[in-house]
Chains A and B, each alone.
Chain A
Amino acid sequence: MVLRRFLRDSGHLVRPAIVLLAAMGLFLVVRSAVIPKAFGQYGHYRPGALDAIRARPISFAGQDTCVACHDEQAKVRAAGKHAHVACEACHGPLAKHADDPTANVPKRPEVANLCRRCHEKDAAKPQGFPQVATVEHSAGMACNSCHQPHNPHL
């Protein structure tokens, strides 16, 4: 008797309350379906993104990979001023060559630009760094006609 009177008197409150509860339930269902399971494991982001970024391919094989095969050149280089210049600093990215050396043969670097980019005289370069004004120094001659790039000292 009491319950019936309550329902009759407050129906205008009960009906929207049911709608609200249903909407909240729907929100929770949609939310759990849309948000990835591990979201928030390390912070407010999707941890799967870390794996996706890690899975990107590499282009530079790295010094250790080059030296594993080309130990002769590595020895020559280690004896000279270019000892701390990595192979791929001049030869470019060669991870593909490391994966399949016969199918991906690298081109020889273009000496004219390559040497000048580091060694052309420039007031902004550190004082102690070896640099020459190429026009006066070699007058258009290729650098490697005198210097051996792996160990450039004459």
Chain B
Amino acid sequence: MDISRRDLFTMGGKLLVLASVGASLEQITGAAPPTDAYRMAEHWWGMIIDVDKCIGCGNCARACSRENNVPSGYFRTWVERYEIEEGRPPHVESPNGALDGFPPSKREDVKSFYVPKLCNQCADSPCVQVCPVGATFVSPDGVVLVDETYCLGCRYCVQACPYGCRYLHPDKNTVDKCTLCYHRITKGLTTACCESCPTGARQLVDFKDPKDPVHEFLRHNKVQVLKPYMATQAKVYYKNLDGAVR
């Protein structure tokens, strides 16, 4: 059979068109439908905390403890009470992590306030950097998580966290920490602590959502993260935070 150069080119062209049609059909019909409406790439989670609204009721600590089965004596979130007398180092207390609330403060003569604490969900997290086995990581949607099946329990991360937010789970012997209620926020719910906060002092926010109130909040308020000099790129922002808070 004689094939001219022209025939070869036309045949090649036809084959190419056929192949591309087939390939796109395969993409349309053959691709598995997405099983899940949640897309990690569309979120970047954090939290905003209004210190002036916190009343130290401890609802957040209790809710967290019950939602996440936090072992007794350990805390994923807790509340601290600061009492600051002029010219003296601040007095900080957090009886049982505020699980039972606080005994009323009697001292009217000092500056006093409550500060809720939790994992700051650092984007550039020291705990992730020190993990030798890749058991702790920042998820694509910005939450610092622990893979229980990979964690060795070496506690490097517990030492590395500047905020004291990690502990070794006494039964599992793996590291445990605030997951920002990852099992809830990926289902469209808010975290247990935010759900149960009666004054709205803490709010879960999504920095990638243009309609999220966080953008207004950051524009109109004086905000601060904890220990900014640690350069951890923390994503928990505190409004009107006193300089004494560490």
- Chain A residues engaging chain B, CB cutoff 8 angstroms: 39, 42-46, 49-50, 52-60, 62-63, 82, 84-86, 88-90, 92-93, 117-118, 120-126, 129
Contacts and interface: CB of A to CB of B under 8 A. Distances in A.
B147 interface: yes
Contacts of A49: 137, 145-150
B198 A45 contact: no
B184 A58 contact: yes
Given A59-B66, A60-B63, A44 B105 contact: no
B189 interface: yes
A71 B217 CA distance: 31
Nearest to B140: A42
A42 B67 contact: no
B183 A58 contact: yes
B109 to A, nearest CB: 9
B157 interface: no
A62 B195 contact: yes
Contacts of A88: 63, 195-196
Given A42-B140, A44-B137, A63-B195, A93 B67 contact: yes
Given A118-B198, A125-B56, A44 B81 contact: no
Contacts of B44: none
Given A43-B137, A59-B67, A124 B56 contact: yes
Interface string B114-145: 10000000000000000000111111100001
A120 B103 CA distance: 9
Given A58-B187, A59-B67, A121-B104, A45 B137 contact: yes
Contact of B195 (A52, A55, A82, A86): A86
Interface in B36-53: 40, 52-53
A89 B52 contact: no
B165 to A, nearest CB: 16
B147 A45 contact: yes
B52 A126 contact: yes
Q: Which 4 A-B pairs have the closest CB atoms?
A: A49-B147, A124-B112, A45-B137, A56-B183
Given A118-B55, A124-B113, A59 B192 contact: yes
B59 A89 contact: yes
9 contacts: A45-B147, A49-B137, A49-B150, A50-B139, A56-B68, A58-B187, A117-B58, A118-B55, A123-B106
Interface in B148-173: 148-150
